[in-house]
Structure 1
Amino acid sequence: MVVVLAALAYLWGALPLGYWAVRRLTGQDVRLASGYNLGLENTLKRLGPGPASLAWGLDILKGLVAAWVGGLWGLSWGVGYALLAYLGHLYPPRRLAQGALLRGRGAGVLLGLVLGLHLSGLSYLSTLAILVTAGGVFLWSRYASLAALSIPAGLALAVSLEPLPGWAKLAAWLLPMVTLWRYKENIGRMLEGTEPRLGDPPPLPSPKQVVCAFMIHPLTLDDLFQSPRFRWARPLVKRGLLSPKLVENLAEAIRPMKVGELRGVRTRDGREIRCYLISAPLLPHQITSKPELATQRAIQGARLARELGCTVVGLGAFWSVVGEKGRRVQEAVPEIQVTNGGAYTAGTVRAAIPGILAHFEQEGRSLRQATAAVVGANGVVAFGIARQIAPLVGKLILVGRNLERLEKSATSLQQNLERKGQPVPELVLSLDIGAIREADLVFSATSEPGPVIFPQHVKPGAWIYDEGVPPDVDASVKEVPGVRVIPGGVVRPPGAMQGNLDLHFGEGAVPACLAETMILAAEEAFERKSLGGETKSENIQFFVERAEALGFQVVD
Structure 2
Amino acid sequence: MLFLSALLLVVAFLVGSLPLGHWLLARAGVSTRLNSAHNLGVENVLRRVGPRLALSSAALDALKGVVAILMASSLGLQEVTIMAALATYLGHLNPPKFLYGATPPRGRGNLVLLGVLAGLVVTGALPFWAGLLPVLVYAAVAGYWGFISAATLAGLAALTLAVAALHIGPAAKLTTLGLLVAAGWRFKENVGRMLDGTEPRVGEDVPLAGKRDDVVVAAFMIHPMNLHDFWSAQRFAWLKPLVERGLVSEKMVRQMADEMRPMKVGELRGIRTAQGKEIRCYLLSAPLLPDRFRDDPELATKRAIEGARLAHELGAEVVGLGAFWSVVGNKGVDVQAAVPEITVTNGGAYTSGTIKAAIPGILKHFESAGRDLKRATAGIVGANGVVAFGIARTIAPQVGKVIMIGRDLEKLERSANTLRRAAKETEIVTTTSYDTLNEADLIFSATSDPNPVIFPQHVKQGAWIFDEGRPADVDESVSKVPDVRIIPGGLVRPPGSMTTNIDLQFGQGNVPACLAETLIIAATGEHERKSLGPQTLTENINFFVDEAQKLGFEVVD
Q: Which moved more, 1:522-531 or 1:232-241?
A: 232-241
Letter matched to residue 339 of structure 2: V
- Return the match for 1:356 from 359, 362, 366: 362
* Distance in 2 (alpha carbons) for counterparts of 1:255 and 1:501: 19
Aligned counterpart, 1:157? 161
CA distance 1:424–1:534, change in 2 (3 Å): farther
**Mapped pair 1:9 → 2:12:** yes
* Distance in 1 (alpha carbons) for counterparts of 2:29 and 2:252: 50
Q: Deviations over 1:317-371 (max 9, x none)?
A: 0111111111121122222211111110000000000000000011121111110
Aligned counterpart, 1:298? 304
Verify the 8 A CA contact 1:218 1:224 in the aligned structure 2. Answer: yes
- Return the match for 2:339 from 333, 337, 352: 333
**Mapped pair 1:46 → 2:48:** yes
* Distance in 2 (alpha carbons) for counterparts of 1:164 and 1:402: 73
Aligned counterpart, 2:488? 487
Q: Deviations over 1:474-509 (max 9, x none)?
A: 111111111100000000011111111111100011
CA distance 1:33–1:69, change in 2 (3 Å): closer
* 3-state SS in 2 of match to 1:169: helix
**Mapped pair 1:219 → 2:225:** yes
Measured after TM superposition, the shift of residue 30 of structure 1 is 5.5
Measured after TM superposition, the shift of residue 224 of structure 1 is 0.9
Verify the 8 A CA contact 2:142 2:150 in the aligned structure 1. Answer: yes
Letter matched to residue 21 of structure 2: G
* Distance in 2 (alpha carbons) for counterparts of 1:112 and 1:386: 67
Letter matched to residue 468 of structure 2: E
* Distance in 2 (alpha carbons) for counterparts of 1:473 and 1:101: 46
The 5 A counterparts of 1:322-471 are 322-415=328-421, 417=422, 422-471=423-472
* Distance in 2 (alpha carbons) for counterparts of 1:340 and 1:101: 29
- Return the match for 1:248 from 248, 254, 265: 254
**Mapped pair 1:542 → 2:556:** no
- Return the match for 1:72 from 63, 71, 74: 74
Letter matched to residue 220 of structure 2: F
Q: Which moved more, 1:95-104 or 1:138-147?
A: 95-104
* Distance in 2 (alpha carbons) for counterparts of 1:352 and 1:461: 20
Aligned counterpart, 2:131? 127
Letter matched to residue 72 of structure 2: G
**Mapped pair 1:179 → 2:179:** no
Q: Deviations over 1:385-432 (max 9, x none)?
A: 1111111111100001111211121123334x1xxxx44411111111
Verify the 8 A CA contact 2:384 2:411 in the aligned structure 1. Answer: yes
Verify the 8 A CA contact 1:36 1:309 in the aligned structure 2. Answer: no
Q: Which moved more, 1:461-470 or 1:183-192?
A: 183-192
* Distance in 1 (alpha carbons) for counterparts of 2:311 and 2:208: 12
**Mapped pair 1:287 → 2:288:** no
Measured after TM superposition, the shift of residue 66 of structure 1 is 1.4
Verify the 8 A CA contact 1:215 1:316 in the aligned structure 2. Answer: yes
Q: Deviations over 1:6-50 (max 9, x none)?
A: 3332222222222333454x5434543668547542233334333
Aligned counterpart, 1:115? 118
* Distance in 1 (alpha carbons) for counterparts of 2:47 and 2:166: 40
Verify the 8 A CA contact 1:33 1:204 in the aligned structure 2. Answer: no
- Return the match for 1:309 from 292, 315, 340: 315
Measured after TM superposition, the shift of residue 521 of structure 1 is 1.6
Letter matched to residue 67 of structure 2: V
Q: Which moved more, 1:107-116 or 1:37-46?
A: 37-46
* 3-state SS in 2 of match to 1:102: coil
* Distance in 1 (alpha carbons) for counterparts of 2:29 and 2:432: 60
Measured after TM superposition, the shift of residue 202 of structure 1 is 2.4
Q: Which moved more, 1:136-145 or 1:245-254?
A: 245-254
* 3-state SS in 1 of match to 2:397: helix
* 3-state SS in 1 of match to 2:236: coil
Letter matched to residue 92 of structure 2: H
Verify the 8 A CA contact 2:381 2:445 in the aligned structure 1. Answer: yes
Verify the 8 A CA contact 2:34 2:314 in the aligned structure 1. Answer: no
CA distance 1:72–1:156, change in 2 (3 Å): farther
* Distance in 1 (alpha carbons) for counterparts of 2:443 and 2:81: 71
* 3-state SS in 1 of match to 2:234: coil
Aligned counterpart, 2:515? 514
**Mapped pair 1:63 → 2:65:** yes
Verify the 8 A CA contact 1:35 1:202 in the aligned structure 2. Answer: no
* Distance in 1 (alpha carbons) for counterparts of 2:334 and 2:199: 31
**Mapped pair 1:93 → 2:99:** no
* Distance in 1 (alpha carbons) for counterparts of 2:220 and 2:40: 22
* Distance in 1 (alpha carbons) for counterparts of 2:461 and 2:66: 77
Q: Which moved more, 1:103-112 or 1:71-80?
A: 71-80
Q: Tell me the number of residue pairs that the alignment of Structure 1 and Structure 2 aligns.
A: 550
Verify the 8 A CA contact 1:315 1:339 in the aligned structure 2. Answer: yes
Measured after TM superposition, the shift of residue 239 of structure 1 is 3.2
- Return the match for 1:274 from 280, 283, 288: 280
**Mapped pair 1:103 → 2:112:** no
Measured after TM superposition, the shift of residue 531 of structure 1 is 0.9
* Distance in 1 (alpha carbons) for counterparts of 2:81 and 2:215: 45
Flag structure 2 segments of 5+ consecutive residues without an equivalent: none
* Distance in 2 (alpha carbons) for counterparts of 1:23 and 1:324: 34
- What is the identity percentage for the equivalent residue pairs of Structure 1 and Structure 2? 56
Q: Deviations over 1:56-76 (max 9, x none)?
A: 222211212212322333232
* Distance in 2 (alpha carbons) for counterparts of 1:33 and 1:246: 35
* 3-state SS in 2 of match to 1:368: helix
Verify the 8 A CA contact 1:101 1:307 in the aligned structure 2. Answer: no
Q: Which moved more, 1:117-126 or 1:378-387?
A: 117-126
**Mapped pair 1:505 → 2:502:** no
Verify the 8 A CA contact 1:390 1:424 in the aligned structure 2. Answer: no
Letter matched to residue 232 of structure 2: Q
Q: Which moved more, 1:344-353 or 1:146-155?
A: 146-155
Measured after TM superposition, the shift of residue 168 of structure 1 is 3.7
Q: Deviations over 1:445-487 (max 9, x none)?
A: 0111111101110000000000001100011111111110000
Aligned counterpart, 1:257? 263
Verify the 8 A CA contact 2:37 2:45 in the aligned structure 1. Answer: no
Letter matched to residue 245 of structure 1: K
CA distance 1:48–1:131, change in 2 (3 Å): same
* Distance in 2 (alpha carbons) for counterparts of 1:240 and 1:36: 35
Q: Deviations over 1:198-251 (max 9, x none)?
A: 221123122121111111111121111111110111222333333333322221
**Mapped pair 1:189 → 2:193:** yes
